[in-house]
A and B are shown apart, each in its own frame.
Chain A
Amino acid sequence: MKILVCLKQVPHKDARLEASGGWIDEGGIKFEINQYDTYALEEALRIKDAGEAEVVVATIGPDRTSQALRTALGMGADRAIQIWDDSLSGADSLTIAKLLAAAAKDESFDLVLMGLMSDDANNSLTGPMLAELLGLPHTTGAMKIELSDGKAQVERELEGGSLQVVDLPLPCLITVQTGLNEVRYASLKGIMQAKKKPLDKKGISDLGLDAAAVASKVTVDKLYVPTKGEGAEILEGSAGEVAQQLVGKIKELGLL
């Protein structure tokens, strides 16, 4: 069994963010592994613990992301792939998926796992796009994964709390929900061994691609925090007066 876990390094949940152009100012903030991806990694490590499996982690990002990969190696992943080129700054989901597909295509993974989405961009696109590029069946938002006889049975979470059970033949790609397992603590031994595990750094050409082939099609124009209070009218007065005004407004707008 050979498993690929794709993970993304995102700003730490306690980081103080400032918008800067189409993205945030990354200077001086801490990063961590995308929460959703930690569950994907844990699921892969559980499959490894239960039998024989090689777990490979991959990310796309600058030097700082090697810390995320080392953390994954410390938790028990076997080797890591880090892909970066400065031209990839602000890359869209399809570009990310193309790079991951290029890194994965000759490895014949039996299973590709990743988070349902990233905590920072919230696109939920990379997983399905990667599956498509690799020609793999896929499903999203897994709450439970069971492997047997060359297939994966997956419980997916739907709106309103209902679950859907789907079967996929291996190899396949599954994106996971948070809470599908309990993410382990890295052991001291694991952390100490992480440095000795392979971490391959690859550029675009190392993957047999050229810059034009992975050029982003989507560009982000602006990232900003909407101004508070715009479009809102604050009603003032006693509770009775405010209620009176509110009823008036609702009638005025023909909402009743």
Chain B
Amino acid sequence: MELELTDEQQQVVASVRRFVREEIAPLEADLDPDASELAPEDHERLVGMARSMGLYGLDIPEEFGGPGVDLVTRTLISIEMAQHRAGLYAPCYGVFGGAGLAQLYEANEDQKERYLYPMLRGEKRGCFALTEPSGGSDPARAIRTTAVKDGDGWVLNGEKTFISGADRADFAITFARTDPEKGRNGITCFIVDTDMPGFRVRRIVHTLRSSHYATELEFDGLRIPSANVLGEVNRGFAIANDRLSRNRIPYAAGCIGVAIRAQEMAIEYVKHRETFGDVLATRQAIQWMIVDNEIDIRTSRWLTLDAAARAERGESFRTEAAMAKLVASEAGGRVVDRVMQIHGGYGMTKDLPLERWFREMRIRRVGEGPSEVQRLIMARDLIGGSFH
């Protein structure tokens, strides 16, 4: 069993680590503590560097011009890219290029021309509209937005919630029920242009993320041509589900990156901070917190790399990805919490990135499927069959 990183992986990690420390962190020091974007000129310059490093568009498949990085290396890079203040939700401020919406790689040629390629060129933005007020974790039952066949098109009615970036999107990958009798086999995926009549961003929902927010959407008699059906009619559930499994790995990786950076801050701080005549590092209560952090970080890291390695080998990785996501998001929260405790009053201030991580890390136990749903997924795999 090979647990060592390859020479190449070590070099890529060292390179991204240096990039975060030397290029991102100094710019971040001059930004608002809640900022999620760089100044346009800095963004452009760093995108240029990312391109010359050959790491731009990391999640774009090789045949569409991506660098073709294997999933383990990709995960290692994700862990590094999150190691700064905005790193959890804006890793490296997006200078390595957005993944875009992976579902579009499965689109037909006409749809690729209209949506995928413009998205890869940075001309169009998309959003992913799955979750509804009736629930997000069980899309088969929760999707109540309907699409009814009407001539050569469909008519959509319904609502969505917690949709990131819909107010700035040009199109929305939208899931709607096309057959009320068939449960998960009655859901279809549509590409909805946000300027189609009947599409409305009803309101912005503010969350623990300061500068980012979710939106509520409304579809009111929205007419959409059949040419905008992504994949097959009534086969949309698989598209949603595949995305959910895959996303758990980078989601876990982001939590680990932040935890690693927080732990580094803690170790540095306890060596210098004096209380009652000696440094914090000499206090057993503090030592144990540092050790518990390390256990949390290493456990999360191995579980996540294992999930990535299985996915890379083409093996089933559903349980592993669920476990990685569950453990990394919960461990990340504990680590940030302990590091805040170690920093005392300073840990509460916006001078340090801890309070931002603390808020944002809390979302990670709910986003991309809450811990309870991850357990449900694992239980199904371990025990077998479907049960309630």
Contacts and interface: CB of A to CB of B under 8 A. Distances in A.
Interface of A: 67, 70-71, 74, 185-192, 194-195
A186 B7 contact: no
A192 B69 CA distance: 10
A71 B11 contact: yes
A64 to B, nearest CB: 12
Contacts of B105: none
B67 interface: yes
Interface stretch (B12-20, B24-32, B176-184, B369-377): B12-20
Q: Which 3 residue pairs of A and B lie closest in terms of their CB atoms, listed nearest first? A: A188-B54, A187-B54, A191-B11
B53 A67 contact: no
B11 A186 contact: yes
B52 interface: yes
Contacts of B54: 187-190
A187, A191, A194 interface centre (most CB from chain B within 10 Å): A191
Contacts of B282: none
Contacts of B10: 67
Given A67-B7, A70-B7, A195-B7, A185 B12 contact: no
Contacts of B14: 71
A185 B53 contact: yes
B12 A191 contact: yes
6 contacts: A71-B11, A185-B15, A185-B52, A187-B52, A188-B54, A188-B69
Contacts of A186: 11, 15, 53
How extensive is the interface on chain B, given as a class? 10 to 19
A67 B49 CA distance: 24
Contact of A194 (B8, B15, B19, B69): B8
A188 B55 contact: yes
Contacts of B49: 185
Contacts of A194: 7-8, 11
Contacts, number: 37
Interface string B299-342: 00000000000000000000000000000000000000000000
A194 B236 CA distance: 43
Contacts of B8: 191-192, 194-195
Nearest to B6: A195
Contact of A185 (B7, B18, B67): B18
Contacts of B19: 185
A188 B52 contact: no
A80 to B, nearest CB: 13
A92 B372 CA distance: 62
Contacts of A192: 8
Interface in B1-47: 7-8, 10-12, 14-15, 18-19
Contacts of B7: 67, 70, 194-195
B97 to A, nearest CB: 13
Contact of B53 (A70, A71, A187, A195): A187
B20 to A, nearest CB: 11
B171 to A, nearest CB: 30
B11, B18, B53 interface centre (most CB from chain A within 10 Å): B11
A185, A189, A192 interface centre (most CB from chain B within 10 Å): A185
B95 to A, nearest CB: 12
A71, A188, A194, A195 interface centre (most CB from chain B within 10 Å): A188
B11 A74 contact: yes
Interface in B67-86: 67, 69
Given A71-B14, A191-B11, 10 more contacts: A67-B10, A185-B19, A185-B49, A186-B11, A186-B53, A187-B52, A188-B12, A188-B69, A189-B54, A191-B15
A190 B8 CA distance: 10
B68 to A, nearest CB: 9
B18 A188 contact: no
B1 to A, nearest CB: 21
Contacts of B52: 185, 187
Nearest to A188: B54
B333 to A, nearest CB: 26
Contacts of B15: 185-186, 191
A18 to B, nearest CB: 16
B7, B19, B52 interface centre (most CB from chain A within 10 Å): B7
Contacts of A185: 15, 18-19, 49, 52-53
Nearest to B67: A188
A233 B42 CA distance: 52
A46 to B, nearest CB: 14
A194 B9 CA distance: 12
Contacts of A187: 52-54
Contacts of A74: 11
A190 B67 CA distance: 12
Nearest to A66: B7
A187 B8 CA distance: 11
B82 to A, nearest CB: 18
Interface in B48-62: 49, 52-55
B311 to A, nearest CB: 20
A71 B7 CA distance: 9
Nearest to B9: A191
A189 B68 CA distance: 10
A209 B113 CA distance: 66
A97 to B, nearest CB: 29
A29 to B, nearest CB: 15
A74 B19 CA distance: 16
Nearest to B56: A188
